[in-house]
């Protein structure tokens, strides 16, 4: 009997990998510790559950996120197709109904005969590797403590790190509004609209600016976000 490819973690990456391998005739053993071992942020046992934002970022091809989506589409990404089926209005971004999206992906995995979805926590890798043709670790930042310790022992590092992008919080009064362009990341500005808002913002800011003020007033803090 052909050994399956073991995939640990049925999140976005693990689910996509499982579906792609199965579509190429390769048997897969997909391990997901939920609901046996819950996490602090997951709310269901569904595969590909989105635990943070339901936005998958920009669809504009001139942006990095938009180009990635074009590549996913060209390569036949199963999760990207599911995202399009369950898209919700979000301006220039692709956002999804998170529950419908996760349920769609879960159903695809459950009906695929070449995928064996195993609801159990993987704590060790040696035995798993010996029973598999290959092992893909796709557990992300919510890797269980036991598996994280196992991985650290193999790679010889004291800890593993996960880096995420976070928009910084800045003081509005610390910004030079004469060179800023303001626009919601989810909106398409009409010609001149963004500049009009920037001018309005400058006027509002100059009226409330006070060198002697020791603490920021209500609404002085804004979340800086890229386009």
User: Which residues of the chain fall below pLDDT 70?
Assistant: 1, 158-168, 184-227
The answer to whether the beta carbons of residues 188 and 60 sit under 8 Å apart is no
pLDDT of res. 201: 42
Over the chain, what is the mean pLDDT? 83
Q: Is the peptide bond before 129 cis (omega within 30 degrees of 0)?
A: no
pLDDT of res. 162: 64
- At 71, list the tokens: 């590549």
Residues 19-52: tens digit of each pLDDT: 999 999 999 999 999 999 999 999 999 999 999 8
């Amino acid at each position: 009997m052909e050994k399956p490819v073991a995939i640990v973690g049925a999140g976005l990456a693990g689910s996509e990998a499982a579906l792609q391998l199965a579509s190429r005739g390769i048997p897969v053993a997909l391990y997901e510790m939920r609901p046996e071992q819950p996490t602090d942020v997951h709310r269901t046992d569904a595969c590909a559950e989105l635990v943070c934002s339901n936005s998958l970022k920009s669809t504009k091809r001139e942006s990095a996120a938009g180009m990635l989506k074009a590549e996913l589409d060209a390569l036949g990404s199963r999760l990207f197709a599911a995202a399009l089926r369950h898209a919700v209005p979000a301006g220039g971004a692709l956002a999804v109904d998170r529950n419908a999206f996760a349920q769609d992906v879960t159903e695809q995995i459950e009906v695929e005969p070449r995928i064996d979805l195993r609801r159990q926590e993987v704590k060790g890798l040696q035995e798993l590797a010996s029973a598999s043709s290959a092992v893909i670790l796709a557990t992300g930042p919510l890797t269980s403590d036991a598996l994280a310790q196992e991985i650290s022992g193999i790679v010889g590092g004291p800890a593993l790190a996960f880096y995420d992008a976070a928009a910084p919080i800045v003081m509005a009064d610390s910004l030079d509004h004469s060179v800023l362009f303001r626009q919601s990341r989810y909106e398409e500005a009409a010609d001149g609209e963004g500049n009009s808002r920037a001018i309005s913002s400058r006027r509002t800011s100059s009226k409330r600016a006070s060198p002697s003020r020791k603490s920021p007033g209500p609404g002085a803090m804004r979340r800086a976000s890229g386009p």
